[in-house]
Amino acid sequence: MTFEAVLQVLLSGLLMGLIYALMAAGLSLIFGLMDVVNFAHGEFLMVAMYLMFGLTLVTGLDPLVLTPIVVVCMFLFGAGVYLGIIRFVMRAKANQGMVQVFVTFGLGLVLMGLAQSFFSPDYRSIGDTWVGGKSVSLFGIYLPLPQVVGALVSIVAFLVIWLAINRTDFGKALEATREDAGAVSLVGIDKNRVFALGWGYGSALVGLAGSIIAIFFYIYPSVGASFILIAFVTVALGGFRSVYGALAAGIIVGLVEASTAILLTPALKSLGVYAVYLAVVVFRPRGLFGSI
């Protein structure tokens, strides 16, 4: 294998990894905030992709222009899911862990079923776009343009997350609620409001990821299921409480996936990722960068 080929594989792995990290960031944010794993996260991604698909059909604008609209819609959707459903899950007295798993899971099934009955199980894709199907060449290495854009968006998004957590009042409230959800109400922070906003921002992030993925991937009702496992693995690998851990883990996942595809066969690429995940959690159950 030539040097260029190796570089090609590593760079495309890196780009996909950044997109995976963006996809996992919302999951990690919500878990870190309130110890709830959203098993419908993949279906949130699917909703965002269909939203983008519908918007491009209706307006005829480019996905990159429509991305902010999708992100805002997903924010409202996420906050709505918290206020309408998850709020009541948090009140469950018996078996809370099980209730969380199955309520979010049931929500995912309903969303998938709704997508199937409205859009049929057909594979759809967004036609001509500004960046779709094009590639950039850099010193003899060809990189698909949508992934390059996605990776850049992901980097910017993580910068914004860093700024939001460290420089804003909401960030402070978020960190405080994450530390002790009971005590924050004593200093006048409305726990429910922070949780609802957390779900909103978490869904907005997955909406951003969905908007990008919709440009270069097929859209179908169970598309979430194809990505959710990667998101889970990324979050578990990075450590459930660490949003930045998700960034590092996403890159690792992307690189492992790309190298497995080259070293074995492309059909087994996810196997390498699962193997790395299992190996890491066996020796370090809290993930690479997680704290207890």
User: CB under 8 Å to 153, separation ≥6 — which residues?
Assistant: 22, 208, 212
Distance CA 136, CA 146 (A): 10
Residue 155 or 288 with smaller CB distance to other proteins: 288
| Size (the chain), residues | 292
Among positions 62, 69, 102, 155, the unique one binding other proteins when judged by CB under 8 A:
102
99 binds other proteins (CB under 8 A): yes
Determine the size of the site formed for other proteins (CB under 8 A). 49
The residues that bridge with 136 in the sheet, in sequence order, are: 143
Residue 37 or 219 with smaller CB distance to other proteins: 37
Among positions 85, 90, 176, 262, the unique one binding other proteins when judged by CB under 8 A:
85
108 binds other proteins (CB under 8 A): yes
288 binds other proteins (CB under 8 A): no
Distance CA 156, CA 168 (A): 17
76 binds other proteins (CB under 8 A): no
**DSSP code, position 289:** S
97 binds other proteins (CB under 8 A): yes
> Which of these ranges, 17-25, 62-70, 185-193, 276-284, lies near other proteins under the rule CB under 8 A?
276-284
Residue 151 or 253 with smaller CB distance to other proteins: 253
163 binds other proteins (CB under 8 A): no
Q: Is residue 238 within 8 Å of 289, Cβ to Cβ?
A: yes
110 binds other proteins (CB under 8 A): yes
Distance CA 202, CA 195 (A): 10
Q: Is residue 25 within 8 Å of 247, Cβ to Cβ?
A: yes
The values of phi and psi at residue 219, to 5°, are -115, 120
Residue 68 or 97 with smaller CB distance to other proteins: 97
5 binds other proteins (CB under 8 A): no
Site for other proteins in 212-241 (CB under 8 A): 221, 225, 229, 232-233, 236, 240
Distance CA 5, CA 9 (A): 6
170 binds other proteins (CB under 8 A): no
What is the end-to-end Cα distance of the chain in Å, rounded? 42
Among positions 61, 65, 109, 160, the unique one binding other proteins when judged by CB under 8 A:
109
Closest approach, Cβ 273 to other proteins, in A, equals 9
Distance CA 239, CA 286 (A): 6
266 binds other proteins (CB under 8 A): no
- Is residue 141 classed as helix, strand or coil in its secondary structure? strand
Distance CA 273, CA 96 (A): 30
- Pick left, alpha or beta for residue 46 (phi over 0 → left; psi -120 to 50 → alpha; otherwise beta): alpha
What residues make contact with other proteins under the rule CB under 8 A?
A: 37, 85, 88-89, 92-95, 97-103, 105-117, 120-121, 221, 225, 229, 232-233, 236, 240, 265, 267-268, 270-271, 274-275, 277-278, 281-282, 285
